Structure formats: C-alpha cells, structure tokens
C-alpha cells in the first residue's frame, strides 16, 4: 500500500510539474514580447508589442483588482494633457472608453474613440485589458507614441465605481518603440573577446581577425546581453563574432580574408553608432555544455580615414551570461546580397536598387533538422552610399509582410533593433533584402566588397530556436549578367561597365537587368556545407500604414456617431 501510494504521489508530482511548465511556457505571446511592472509592488503589469509597418501598437494591462483600471500616455507624468483609457468588468458586462484629462479630475470621453478593445476579463481578483491603437496620434486629444522615452501613467479602483483612485496610481518612464529589456541578475558574470594591443597599419580600410577559444563551461550557459568594448570610436566601423566549426583547433591572428575563412556562423554583431543589445526573456545565445568547446573568430573592420600608422586598438565585445537557461537557444542568420565583387553600382545614381534573396526552402538541404524561424530583432547594414534598407517577406509566391524597414538609413548609426513583435518565417518562405543607394557624388563604379567605399546589402536576423546556419544569400548569376548585357566575356563586360555613359536611362536599364536575370541562391551551414541553386527576384511592394484605429461603440457616443461607426464596421 505504501509503495503504491508513493508511486502514485510521484506520478502526481510529475503531472503537476509538467502542467506548471506548460502553463509557464504558454504565457509567451509573440505579439506582446515586452513587459514592465509599472509599480514597485508588482500589482500593475504592462505588456506590449508593435508593428511599425502597419503603424499599430498593442497593449495588455493586468492589474490585481476587481474594479476599474486605467492606462495613459502623459506629456509630463501627471493627469493634465494625458491620453487615457479606462475599462473594467461590471455586472452588465465590459466597459471601455478612450478619454483625455484636462486636469486632476475625471477624464473626458473623446469624441473619436481611437483605441480598439480586443479583450477584457476579470478573474480571481485580476483584471486584464488588451487593446490596440495607432502609433501616430489620430486627433487632438491623442498623444503619438514616439521613439523617445514616454511617461506612462496608471490608476485603478477596488470597485467599478470610477471615482478618485487615492494612492492606487503611478507613473513610469518607458521607451515603448525602442525598448531594450534589462535582466536584473545579481552577481552578473561576463567574459570579453577583444583584440589585444593591435597596432593598425596605415590602410584606410583594414579587417583584422583573431581566432581564439572562448571560456569553457562545464554546463550550458545562455548569453543574455552583449556590449561593445571600443577603445577607438573613430577607427572601429563594425565588429562581428563567428563561431568556428570543430575542425578549427588552433588560435590565429591575421588580416581577414587573406586565406579561406572557415568560421562563418555569426554569433554577435555591432555597428558604428550602436549600443548594448539584450536578448528577450525567452531566448539566449548558447555557450558551453553540449554546445561544445568551439573556437571563435573576432572580426574588426577598421576605417582609418587619415591612414595613420601606429594606432593601437583593443576593441571587442563583452558577453554577459547566466546558468539560468531560457526557453530557446537564439541564433543570428546573415541574409542579403553576397559580398562578392561580381556586381557594381553605377555612378551618378539618385536611387539605385540592389537585391539579395534568402530562400528558406533550401535550409533542409544543409541541415538534418530544420525548423521555422521566430525572428525578433534585425540589424541592417550597408556602407556610405546606402540610403534605405527593406526586408520583404514572401510566402507561396506572394508578399505577406515587410519584415523590417529603414527608410532613413544612416551609416553612422547602425544598431540592432527590435521588430516590436516576433515574426514567423516558415520553411519555404523567401526573404528579400532591398537596398537603395545614392552615388550622385561618385564618378566611378562602386563595387560590392569589404572596403567602406565599396558596398554591402545585408540584414542580420536574430531568431529562435537556433539552427547551425551561417548564411542565406544570393547574387546575380554572373554569366547571365554578362550575356544579357551583350558582352562575350568578363573582360568585355568590365570594359563596358567602366566606359558606359551613365545617365538616368542607362542606370535604370542596368538596374532592371540585375533584377530580372537568374540569381545564384546560396545557403550555408555552420560547417560550410552549402546548397547552391538558382532563383528569381520577386517584386517588393511597400504599403502605407493602416489608418487610425477606430473603436466602433461606446455607450458615451452620440446615437448618430454610433450608427455611422457600426455601418462602417459592418461593411
């Protein structure tokens, strides 16, 4: 009897544990990746996510109360001028209104209801309200959500009688659109991978590489934060850290790309103007344990404009890690136009487009186990001529989204940015990286290459769960390009390109040729096994953001407004 009871208790404990794990993981919502407690007692929690392409932001406010709850954007942290929503669940059902505050009094209901209620529930002493609005302001009573830190206010009551909140209110400043999570771990531990007193040559562009073993760990750890360690901001253009395959077993330091590079799986990336990067709470970069005792290659791109000799540099990256593992291993995938000098950007171009395509159909060709990518952040990269970068997302031949967009790309400010929500890239989807360049001040061709005066068109995708992938890129099929332009061989093509009378007509014709010819599509795994196929560039469309979000009905709207809104929503 005792043994049986003990066995049953063990089974029950296991079931309860699995249920608790299932409940824990179920809390992850890809549309609400960011979270902050707005009060010190953790009674008020705000979750949110956004879609800059669609121009919308989604909120979920959870408050430990069975009464009314409210949330607002305030210009100064107080009531006056604040853009506020109030909602709750009473004995008649749910109520929800978009309001604005004229002072320290009951907020006035807006004529235009620009917040859309998605769900509102009350259970076990907690009220949860999910709602959506436009990022931009839609009328004079709304405040726009900006890229700067904003003052968020909240208040709540113990009943559904909306009256004075007493001490149940507060303010917290949060950057909603450029949020960077900060893990609050005691005794933070980190390691550095840097150059050590490297003396630069008198070259304007120089790539230096250092291959070394990372610290060893008995068990698997997760890297959750990456910080740049820069000793010469005027010299360091970007940093990349690659994980090497097991065949690399010796340290090495030399100029990059002077021999065949075997370490090509991107682990970390930093660009000029960027700052720290912290992974979302559900993912971390794996190191140690079953990840293996790998070597890593640090690549530093030095842009020594004055060609000064003898400058010493010890720049690199700092990695914060924890043994408290997160749900997923994260990875970074390099996509875009392969960095090979087999294409060129003509001079005198106001707006010249290049394309690089990642066809995820071929990922299973280089991996035994492949899975969909849950993309949460991206870093886009060109050099001096870059003006815009867009990443289109295609499924079954149709564009379904713009994964990321930078309509005002700045070479001096390159940063990993959160997408605002986790986006799923299914196996079989295509990703198209489109870059726009301006070469009006140049008189010669701009080659694809490593130099700052050359060009690149790349998007580094941060995703989970990690796969052993290093790159998914494309480039124009060179022999097709030579043939399409009427050149018999490479020499003739180079002569044509260098002697061409470049004007709007010839630039446009060349751009269209690059796009319509076959592309060489390349997918490479961490061990340099490659799949090389042909593909074509799809058409990328950019749609304007959705108009202002409108909520159809509130009991405070006039009858005619209600009638018109219902008519519009029902059509």
Backbone angles phi, psi at 324, to 5 degrees: -80, 95
Query: Which of 57, 82, 81 is closest to 71 using CA atoms?
Result: 82
Which residues are CB-neighbours of 483 under 8 A, at least 6 positions away? none
Q: 417: closest CA among 384, 447, 375, 365?
A: 375
**19: helix, coil or strand?**
helix
- Which helix (DSSP H) or strand (DSSP E) does residue 363 occupy? helix 363-366
- The DSSP secondary structure of 350-391, one letter per residue, reads SSEEEEEEEEGGGHHHH-SS---EEEEEEEEE--TTEEEEEE
Q: Please give the Cα distance from 283 to 418 (Å, whole number).
A: 13
Pick from 299, 280, 294: nearest CA to 223: 280
3-state class (DSSP) for residue 483: helix
Q: Are 249 and 340 in contact (CB under 8 A)?
A: no
Total count of residues recorded for the chain: 571
Cis peptide before 412 (omega within 30 of 0): no
Q: What gap in Å lies between CA 126 and CA 43, rounded to an integer?
A: 9
CB contact set of 555 (below 8 Å; sequence gap of 6+): 95
Task: Judge contact between 105 and 165, C-beta under 8 A.
Answer: no
Question: What pairing do the DSSP bridges indicate for beta strands 446-447 and 398-406?
Answer: unpaired
Is 237 a residue of the active site?
no
CB 325 within 8 A of CB 284: yes
> Which two tokens mark 194?
């840097």
Residue of 381, 383, 393, 477 marked catalytic: 381
Does residue 381 have an active-site annotation? yes
Can you tell me the distance from the alpha carbon of 374 to that of 380, in angstroms, rounded to the nearest whole number?
17
> Which residues are known to be catalytic?
207, 381
């Amino acid at each position: 009897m005792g043994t049986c009871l003990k066995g049953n208790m063990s089974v029950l404990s296991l079931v309860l544990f699995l249920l608790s794990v299932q409940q824990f993981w179920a809390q992850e919502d890809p549309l609400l990746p960011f979270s902050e407690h707005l009060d010190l007692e953790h009674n008020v929690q705000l979750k949110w996510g956004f879609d800059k392409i669609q121009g919308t932001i989604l909120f979920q406010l959870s408050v430990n109360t069975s009464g009314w709850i409210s949330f607002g954007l305030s210009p100064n942290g107080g009531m006056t001028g604040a853009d506020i929503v109030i909602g709750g669940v009473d004995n008649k059902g749910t109520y929800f209104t978009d309001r604005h505050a004229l002072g320290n009094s009951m907020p006035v209901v807006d004529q235009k209801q620009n917040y859309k209620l998605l769900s509102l529930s009350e259970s076990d002493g907690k009220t949860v309200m999910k709602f959506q609005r436009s990022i931009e302001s839609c009328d004079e009573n709304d405040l726009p959500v900006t890229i700067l830190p904003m003052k968020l206010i909240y208040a709540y009551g113990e009943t559904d009688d909306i009256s004075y909140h007493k001490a149940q209110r507060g303010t917290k400043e949060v950057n909603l659109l450029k949020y960077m999570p900060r893990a609050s771990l005691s005794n933070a531990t980190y390691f550095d991978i840097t150059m050590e007193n490297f003396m630069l040559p008198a070259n304007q562009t120089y790539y230096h590489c250092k291959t070394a073993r990372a610290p060893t760990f008995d068990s698997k750890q997760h890297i959750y934060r990456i910080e740049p360690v820069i000793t010469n901001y005027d010299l360091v253009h970007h940093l990349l850290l690659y994980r090497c395959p097991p065949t690399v077993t010796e340290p090495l330091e030399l100029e990059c790309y002077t021999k065949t590079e075997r370490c090509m799986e991107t682990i970390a990336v930093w660009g000029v103007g960027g700052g720290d990067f912290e992974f979302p709470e559900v993912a971390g970069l794996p190191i140690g344990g079953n990840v293996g005792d790998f070597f890593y290659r640090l690549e530093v791109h030095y842009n020594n404009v004055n060609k000064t000799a003898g400058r010493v540099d010890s720049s690199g990256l700092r990695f914060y890690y924890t043994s408290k593992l997160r749900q997923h291993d994260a990875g970074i995938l390099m996509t875009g136009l392969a960095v090979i000098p087999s294409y060129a950007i003509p001079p005198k171009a106001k707006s010249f487009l290049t394309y690089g395509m990642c066809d995820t159909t071929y990922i299973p060709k280089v991996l035994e186990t492949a899975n969909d990518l849950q993309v949460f952040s991206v870093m886009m990269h060109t050099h001096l001529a870059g003006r815009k970068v867009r990443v289109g997302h295609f499924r079954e031949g149709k564009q379904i989204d713009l994964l990321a967009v930078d309509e005002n790309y700045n070479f001096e400010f390159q940063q990993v940015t959160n997408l605002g929500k986790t986006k799923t890239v299914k196996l079989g989807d295509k990703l198209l990286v489109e870059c726009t360049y301006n070469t009006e001040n140049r008189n010669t061709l701009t080659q694809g290459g490593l130099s700052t005066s050359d060009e690149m068109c790349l998007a580094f995708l941060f995703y989970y769960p990690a796969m052993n992938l290093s790159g998914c890129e494309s480039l124009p099929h060179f022999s097709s390009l030579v043939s399409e332009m009427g050149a018999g061989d490479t020499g003739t093509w180079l002569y044509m390109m260098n002697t061409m009378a470049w004007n709007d007509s010839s630039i446009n014709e060349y751009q269209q040729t690059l796009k319509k010819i076959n592309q060489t599509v390349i997918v490479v795994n961490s061990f340099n096994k490659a799949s090389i196929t042909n593909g074509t560039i799809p058409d990328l469309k950019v749609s304007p953001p959705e108009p202002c979000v409108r909520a159809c009905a509130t009991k405070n709207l006039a009858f005619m407004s209600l009638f018109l809104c219902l008519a519009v929503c029902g059509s």
